[in-house]
Amino acid sequence: MSNKIISIAICDDEKIIQDIVRTKCESYLDENNMSYEISTFSNGMELLKDNKKFDIFFLDVEMPGMNGFSIAESINRVHKDVCIIFLTSHVEMVQKAFKVKAFRYLFKPIIEEDFFEALRDGIKEIYDVKKIIINQKEKTSIVSVNEIIYIEALGDNTAVYTTEEVYISNKTLKALSEVLDESIFVRCHKSYIVSLRHIKEIESRVIVTTSNIKIPIAVRSKKMVKEKLREYVRENAI
């Protein structure tokens, strides 16, 4: 990790919060001998105009002009492998945060132990991303599990839908389910597996993904999926 430079963006309209977050980042990263670059911004437009590629974003939810959710949506359209951590005083905003693929949610006033845990896990998310091998007819691809939105059964094969493209795997849905983390991937239907990190909302008979694709959810699986999603949100909100 020491040879990697971690690039962090802090966006908050309050200078005092910018300074607190920067100081905590510096404290943790210095203590762990990590190289880093930190940039601070007072609003979303400033941040989005910056051409630098950031790894981790600390975004205030409520700011004049663009709020944190709008900023996150803009970031997600351009960058895939980033970590977004929201800062807010309002617990009711948690569910909405995960609709824009938030990694973590920190409440103000910021508790140092929670902050360090979120930063540590965010760095791990960026640099220790798990991958799976997808064997296709004419080639083999290595895919980050974070990019997988959902998987669809196609007889003895499967279609793996990611944020970048669709892969046709020669493995069955059952075989793929056995190599995926069950705390993140759930079988929502006999023909579908979905990633909890990519669920935008659950309607009466379908799941809407963060890519706005609707996939079916079995009646008998709906309660289980909702419970898994609530657990995932709880574990990723501090």
> Across residues 62-71, what is the average pLDDT?
89
Give pLDDT, residue 2: 43
Give the model's confidence band at 1: pLDDT under 50 very low, under 70 low, under 90 confident, else very high.
very low
**In the chain, how many domains are there?**
2
Of 67, 111, 96, 58, give the one whose Cα is nearest residue 199. Answer: 96
Question: What CATH number should be reported for the domain holding residue 17?
Answer: 3.40.50.2300
One domain, residues 158 and 77? no
One domain, residues 59 and 161? no
Strand partners of residue 132 = 143
Q: Which tens digit of pLDDT belongs to each residue from 136-151?
A: 877 888 888 888 999 9
Q: Which residues contact 160 (CB under 8 A, 6 or more apart)?
A: 134, 143, 148, 151, 166, 167, 168, 169, 176
Q: Which tens digit of pLDDT belongs to each residue from 161-174?
A: 998 899 999 999 99
Q: In whole angstroms, what is the distance from residue 199 CA to residue 207 CA?
A: 7
Q: Which tens digit of pLDDT belongs to each residue from 201-227?
A: 999 899 999 889 999 999 999 999 999
One domain, residues 172 and 114? no
Give the model's confidence band at 95: pLDDT under 50 very low, under 70 low, under 90 confident, else very high.
low
> Across residues 186-194, what is the average pLDDT?
96
Residue 94 pLDDT greater than 70, yes or no: no
pTM (global) more than 0.85: no
Residue 82 pLDDT greater than 80, yes or no: yes
One domain, residues 159 and 214? yes
Q: In whole angstroms, what is the distance from residue 227 CA to residue 205 CA?
A: 16
One domain, residues 60 and 121? yes
> Across residues 6-22, what is the average pLDDT?
96
One domain, residues 77 and 161? no
Structural domain range at position 230 = 131-235
Q: Which of 92, 109, 127 is the last residue of a domain?
A: 127
Give pLDDT, residue 23: 97
Q: Which of 76, 101, 127 is the last residue of a domain?
A: 127
Q: Which of 100, 127, 154 is the last residue of a domain?
A: 127
Q: What sections of 161-237 are H helices per DSSP? A: 173-177, 219-235
- Locate 165 and state its tokens: 């493209």
DSSP 8-state assignment for residue 151: E
Question: Which amino acid is it at 154?
Answer: L
Give pLDDT, residue 96: 60
Give pLDDT, residue 144: 85
Question: In this prediction, what percent of the chain has a pLDDT beyond 70?
Answer: 92
What string of DSSP letters covers 19-85?
HHHHHHHHHHHHHTT-EEEEEEESSHHHHHH-----SEEEEESS-SSS-HHHHHHHHHHH-SS-EEE
Backbone dihedral region of 64: left (phi > 0), alpha (psi from -120 to 50 degrees) or beta? beta
One domain, residues 175 and 221? yes
One domain, residues 9 and 121? yes
One domain, residues 71 and 174? no
Q: Is 174 helix (H, G, I), strand (E, B) or coil?
A: helix
One domain, residues 38 and 97? yes
One domain, residues 12 and 65? yes
Mean pLDDT of the residues in the chain: 89
Question: What CATH number should be reported for the domain holding residue 209?
Answer: 2.40.50.1020
One domain, residues 99 and 181? no
